Structure 1
Amino acid sequence: MLLTAATVCTTTTQAEHRTERDRSNVTHVQEIRNATVKISYADTTFLVDPMFAPKGFYEGFTDTYRSFLRNPLVDLPMQPSAILEGVDAVIITHTHLDHWDGVAQDMISKTMPIFVQNQQDQKVILSQGFKDVRILEQTEFQGVTLTKTNGQHGTDEMYQNPKIKMVLGEAMGVVFEAKGHETIYLAGDTIWRPEVDETIEKFNPDVIILNTGNALIDGFKASIIMGKEDTYRATQKAPDAKIVAVHMDAINHMSLTRKQLATYVKAQGIQEKVLIPLDGETLSF
């Protein structure tokens, strides 16, 4: 891991297997690759935004930064079967390719419970053969309360353009809550918006997972997700929370690397609050 906060969490390697007792008492957040995150929480394991394609499987996203590069830019750190081990449910924040790809669709059981943001995404995923697709608002699943949160996948200026608005679409975040466990806020593909402030104020999360790759599309200087300044802002908005930065180094339009974010975090003096896991790395809280 590039940055650690030893006083608040520990890390493990993929080879270190947790016991059932560990699983009950410790929260594990594993960065798989890009926005794909595996969260083991209160005896339940969620897989968020699975993208399983091998390196270079897809063309770069058109009309975006470095579209000449093929996606993903790096391979998975482990086999999809290992990623899926122990998974109880999948959460898809939105159906963009880098959050829900065809390889993942082929690998995941068609009876797996899947949580989505709205009827449109539910219809899409049902059409792909999945049988248990649930629209998330606020629900309890195996002892974990899941709450949908809102945001916006780009700036107001971008959403004034009908074509760009259609491409960007909607994306949700999720708050995870369980008695005796840290509250986790996974913001999803959003820029910093009033909805983000409101979620932090309402839920007072202990762990905040941010997509911080500063993804760029042609014709705009602003990002369609968060970046380094948003990472700093999160530490100020939630000074007692651990900030986990993901969604970097794997897709062509990401303009912020882990290394650059680590340099920025150190310069701001917030390195004890921000965690930047490598692909395959697990943070334990």
Structure 2
Amino acid sequence: MKIRHLRNATALLTLGEHRLLIDPMLARPGSIPGFKFFGGGRRPNPLVPLPPDTFSWLEEVTGVLVTHPHPDHLDTAGIRWIREHGLPVWTSRLDAPGLGKRGLTVHSLEDGALGMGVERIPVRHGRGLLAWLLGRVSSYYLAHPDEPSVYITSDAVLTEDLLEAVERLQPDVIIAPAGSANFGVGGDILFSVDELVTLVRRAPGGVVLNHLEALDHCPTTREGLRERMKAEGLLEKVLIPADGEELHFARPERARGPAAPGPGATQERERASLASGM
């Protein structure tokens, strides 16, 4: 399995024969209004460009996975690119009708889709009224028979339901947002750093942290996150990729089917050369 982090929550996930583009936000810097509505610091998003070789990497894509249709996970540029390339979009049965109305070819991502074990776990994007306003978000557990299993939490805060899913499914790799996004009122709408510490402690394998340093309402930095994880003795379990970096994960040396996960994927890190596209 390979994960090439592009920017924010956008990534290329290689699982067997599939090259899935996750949550494409492909906009140019500054082309989306800021999300920090209160307390100062509002700036147009995204704050940074995509890596220089992004669109050559995207030529490999065989399908698109959308966890939820917020503009930092599926923007106008992303929709236009998907249409131009005629790619299938995989999403929840709840979000499929809305994405279909936007001219996309949509399929429900459920167990057996793409030839792998799939489970959708609803998660909470914030708490209280904000969570209600932000609407439903789907996290996904994917278990390809020949690859490590992966749990994409999408935009979530820590809940007992989410931790129960981690305990039950035992994903080899978790991909989680770490920006501690906050509109300036109503509390964090993504995992706080304290919640990330808990998630990493409870994770059976490695945790890839994304949603960092790309949006005006995400104050957590990569360096600050590394320092906290180091202080907690968790740095060896955490991967915090740079934009454009590719991570490699080997399948654990044990027999299991796509719906019978277990702990412990071994990991290799490859620092992608943004200039050469390697």
**Backbone CA RMSD of aligned residues:** 1.8
Q: Identity, % of aligned pairs?
A: 30
**1:242 maps to 2:206:** yes
How many angstroms apart in 2 are the aligned matches of 1:182 and 1:64?
41
How many angstroms apart in 2 are the aligned matches of 1:64 and 1:171?
24
Return the letter of the residue paired with 1:140. Answer: A
Aligned partners of 1:61 and 1:252 also within 8 Å: yes
Q: Secondary structure at the match of 1:115?
A: strand
The TM-score normalised by the length of structure 2 is 0.84
Counterpart of 2:74 in structure 1 is: 100
Counterpart of 1:12 in structure 2 is: none
1:227 Cα deviation after fit: 2.8
Q: Secondary structure at the match of 1:244?
A: strand
Where does 1:138-153 land on structure 2 (aligned, <5 Å)?
Answer: 138-141=111-114, 143-153=115-125
CA 1:43 to 1:259, structure 2 compared with 1: closer, same or farther past 3 Å?
same
Counterpart of 1:10 in structure 2 is: none
Which structure would you say has the larger RCO, counting Cα contacts within 8 Å and 6 or more residues apart? 1
1:64 Cα deviation after fit: 5.1
Residue deviations 1:30-61 (CA, integer Å, cap 9, x gap): 11100101110122111110000111112212
Q: Structure 1 regions of 5+ residues with no counterpart?
A: 1-26, 160-164
Counterpart of 2:191 in structure 1 is: 226
**1:156 maps to 2:128:** yes
Where does 1:116-135 land on structure 2 (aligned, <5 Å)?
Answer: 116-119=91-94, 121-130=95-104, 132-135=105-108
CA 1:65 to 1:213, structure 2 compared with 1: closer, same or farther past 3 Å?
farther
Q: How many residues align?
A: 248
Counterpart of 2:259 in structure 1 is: none
Aligned partners of 1:64 and 1:253 also within 8 Å: no
Q: Secondary structure at the match of 2:123?
A: coil
Aligned partners of 1:61 and 1:67 also within 8 Å: no
How many angstroms apart in 2 are the aligned matches of 1:101 and 1:157?
24
How many angstroms apart in 2 are the aligned matches of 1:74 and 1:61?
15
**1:284 maps to 2:248:** yes
Counterpart of 2:88 in structure 1 is: 113
How many angstroms apart in 1 are the aligned matches of 2:232 and 2:48?
29
Where does 1:192-271 land on structure 2 (aligned, <5 Å)?
Answer: 192-220=158-186, 222-238=187-203, 240-271=204-235
Residue deviations 1:4-33 (CA, integer Å, cap 9, x gap): xxxxxxxxxxxxxxxxxxxxxxx1011110
1:277 Cα deviation after fit: 0.3
How many angstroms apart in 1 are the aligned matches of 2:82 and 2:56?
12
Q: Structure 2 regions of 5+ residues with no counterpart?
A: 250-278
